Amino acid sequence: MQQSLIGLAPSARSVSVLSGTSAERGDMAVPVSVQTLGLVVLAAVLLQTVAVAVSFMYFNKVLSTMQESFSRSSVSCLINNANLHLGFEDPPPEDKKNDPCWQVTHQLHYLIEKTMADKFQKDISTAVRKKLIGGLSPGIRGVPLPKVAAHVIGVVSSTDPPTAEGSHSSRGYLGERIRSWEGQKGLSFLQNMELKGGELLVSKAGLYYIYAQTYFRLPSTGETDVDAKGEMWETKEEDEAQLVQYIYKKMSSYTVPILLMKSSRSVCWPRGQEPGLFSLHQAGTTFLQPADRLFITVSNASTMEMDGRASYFGAFLVG
């Protein structure tokens, strides 16, 4: 019995030794697995970092190459189109329309020219404005002049054509007055001036530019230029007509109108079937005071063609 127990004791001791060895091996296996996992994770992070760095360097190089290539092509495009603009090259029109480079530079040239033209126009307008203001009298520099102007046109009157109104001594002027003027319709206008009884009434003192045109339609005499024998008619005094236009100024302080301008021409009465068409035009400057009046007279009022585009007169303030 004692020998059996003694025999079993080494076996139990062996089992305990084996159990202790297995426990030590288990304790050593756990740290080895964690260390391996850490190394794997670290290697993966390093590989990912290297891959990102390599990718960044690659794409950066590609982008730099593309940018350099685009820059070279843009400069080349501008140089080629500059040469084209100067006339060094002359490609076909089809190539111009289909070439994006040419289209871009064409638009660029257009914008540059438009900007420069606008700038020059603005500078020129400013210079002209300063020049005009500098030419004004010292009393009104810096103050815009009031708009004083009138343009009246002839209208067909419902009454009979004008006739002579007595002798020159009783009327104080030559010719027959034209009263059928229109100042509100068509091409006519009145700006700080009035139209009363065929007369323009001045509202502001100053130097005025005055103009007038009258249009005449002389009826035909019904005769031909050549008689039955083929001989020319001799020009007689009664075959001639004197067309005269007068511009008068009437002042409130003076009873007799003052003749400002006169225009005349001698014409022959038309023969045949067609009437004769003639016009008289004159213009000039004069100094006018407030309440002065302007009116027109002609020598043959009954033959006047009162067309607003042919018979008119007006005045405007110039300084």
Q: Which residue numbers belong to the known binding site?
A: 268
Secondary structure class of 58 (helix, strand, coil) = helix
Rounded to whole angstroms, the Cα distance separating 111 from 114 reads 5
Number of Cα atoms under 13 Å in the Cβ half of residue 165: 15
Annotated binding site for Zn(2+): 268
DSSP assignments along 254-278, one per residue = -SS-EEEEEEEEEEEPP-SSSPEEE
Number of Cα atoms under 13 Å in the Cβ half of residue 287: 0
DSSP assignments along 86-149, one per residue = HTS----HHHHHH-HHHHHHHHHHHHHHHHHHHHHHHHHHHHHHHHHHHTS-GGGTTSPPP--E
> Residue 290 in contact with residue 296, Cβ under 8 Å?
no
Rounded to whole angstroms, the Cα distance separating 41 from 33 reads 12
Rounded to whole angstroms, the Cα distance separating 210 from 294 reads 9
Secondary structure class of 310 (helix, strand, coil) = coil
Structure tokens at 50: 């290297």
